[in-house]
Amino acid sequence: MARAPVSGSNSARPRKAPGRPRRRAPDADSRVPRYLQVASVLRRRLRDGVWAVGDRIATLEELEREFDVARVTVRQAIDLLQTEGLLRSHQGRGTFVTKSVESSRWLKLATDWESLVSMIRENVPHRLAAGPDGGGPRIAEHEGRPATSYRFLRSLQKRGTEPFGYARVHLSRDVWSKAPRQFAARAALVVLAEMPDLRIARAHQTLTIGAADVETARLLGIALNAPTAEARCVVTDADGVVIYVGEITYRGDCVSLDIELRGPAAVSRDGHSGTSLRPRDRVAGPERRG
C-alpha cells in the first residue's frame, strides 16, 4: 500500500464437577475479558426474549457452570448489565430482568452514492484536533494515484449528544483549499458532491467488522474491544487522483446493512433502489485523453 505525503478480568476457573456439561463457554483464547464475553451472551438472550421483563434469570451457580468461569466473573457480567439498567439483583431472591433490550440499529449503511451523500448531508461534524495521521492515507495501487499532499481531518458524528461515529479523513489539499470553510463546517463527502467544477470518476466503499481500540472506545463511549463497523471510502477524480480517503468507525450496536438479494428492490424516498446502483454508476467517468 502506498502512503501519500502530508504538509478484564481473567479469573481462575473453578474445578470442573464430573458429569456436568459445559455450554456456550466463552472463548478463553480471546483478548476480550471473560466477563464481557459472558455479559454479551446474556445481553443477546435478553434481546432474543429468552427472559422477559420481570423474569428471574439463571442463578450465579448455574451461569458459573454453564460458562465454565469463576463466580466473580459472573458477578462482574451481572454488574455490567445492571449499570445498563437491564438487570437488578435482590439478595436472597435472585437477579431479575428490569428492561428489554430494544433494537437500536437505526443507522442504515448506504449502498449507492446518492444514498451515502443523503445519509450524511445534515450531519454536523464535531471536529477533533488532527493529531498524528500515520504518514498519510493508505492507498492501494488499484485505487488510484496519491495527491501531492493531503489535509487530515478528524471528527465525531453524534446523534443528539451521543457519539456514534469516529471519522478520519484525508482530503486532497488542492481540493480542500477551494472551500476550507465548508469543509470545516460540513461532512467532507457532502462538500465534494456539491462542488460544481469537480468531476468524480469513482467512489468505492468497503465495510469490515472490527473491535474498538482504546482511543475509539473513549471517543465513542463504548467498551474496549466492543464490536464496530469500519467503513472505508475512497474517491478519485477524473484524472485518477485519490482526492478523498475516509475511514469511519461506527458503534456496532447502531449499524445495520440491508441488501435486497432477490425480488423487487425496495425503492427509497428519492426514487432510487438501495441495492441496484453502484457508486460508479452515479459519478462521472474518467475523461479520455487523446
The pLDDT value given to residue 70 = 96
**Rounded Cα gap, residues 56 and 246, in angstroms:** 46
Task: Please choose, from the candidates 106, 105, 103, 97, the residue with its C-alpha nearest in 3D space to the C-alpha of residue 42.
Answer: 97
Task: Work out the average pLDDT over 134-155.
Answer: 93
Residue 122 binned pLDDT confidence (cut-offs 50, 70, 90) = confident
Of the chain, the percentage scoring pLDDT greater than 90 comes to 54
DSSP structure class, residue 252: G
Gyration radius of the chain over CA positions: 24
Amino acid at 37: Q
**Rounded Cα gap, residues 152 and 127, in angstroms:** 11
**Rounded Cα gap, residues 101 and 283, in angstroms:** 41
The pLDDT value given to residue 171 = 97
Burial of 123 (0-12, 13-18, 19+ CB in 10 A): middle
Check: pTM over 0.85? Answer yes or no.
no
Phi-psi region for residue 185, left (φ > 0), alpha (ψ -120 to 50) or beta?
alpha
**Rounded Cα gap, residues 62 and 46, in angstroms:** 17
- 187, 175 contact by CB (below 8 A): no
- DSSP H helical segments within 48-70, as ranges? 60-67
Task: Work out the average pLDDT over 131-135.
Answer: 74
Beta strands in 144-280 (DSSP E): 145-146, 150-159, 162-172, 200-211, 227-237, 241-251, 255-256
Classify domain 107-282 at the CATH topology level. Answer: Chorismate lyase (3.40.1410)
The pLDDT value given to residue 27 = 61
Q: What is the mean pLDDT of the chain?
A: 82
Of the chain, the percentage scoring pLDDT greater than 70 comes to 79
**Rounded Cα gap, residues 247 and 123, in angstroms:** 16
In the chain, CATH 1.10.10.10 sits at: 34-97
Residue 272 binned pLDDT confidence (cut-offs 50, 70, 90) = very low
Residue 231 predicted with pLDDT over 50 = yes
Stretch among 83-97, 222-236, 260-274 having the lowest mean pLDDT: 260-274
**Rounded Cα gap, residues 204 and 233, in angstroms:** 6
Residue 3 predicted with pLDDT over 70 = no
The pLDDT value given to residue 107 = 80
Residue 8 predicted with pLDDT over 80 = no
Task: Work out the average pLDDT over 153-176.
Answer: 94
DSSP structure class, residue 254: G
Which grid coordinates belong to 158? 453524534
CATH C-level class of 34-97: mainly alpha
Residue 227 binned pLDDT confidence (cut-offs 50, 70, 90) = confident
The pLDDT value given to residue 85 = 87
In the chain, CATH 3.40.1410.10 sits at: 107-282
Phi, psi dihedrals of residue 50, rounded to the nearest 5°: -60, -40
**Rounded Cα gap, residues 102 and 265, in angstroms:** 27
- 204, 233 contact by CB (below 8 A): yes
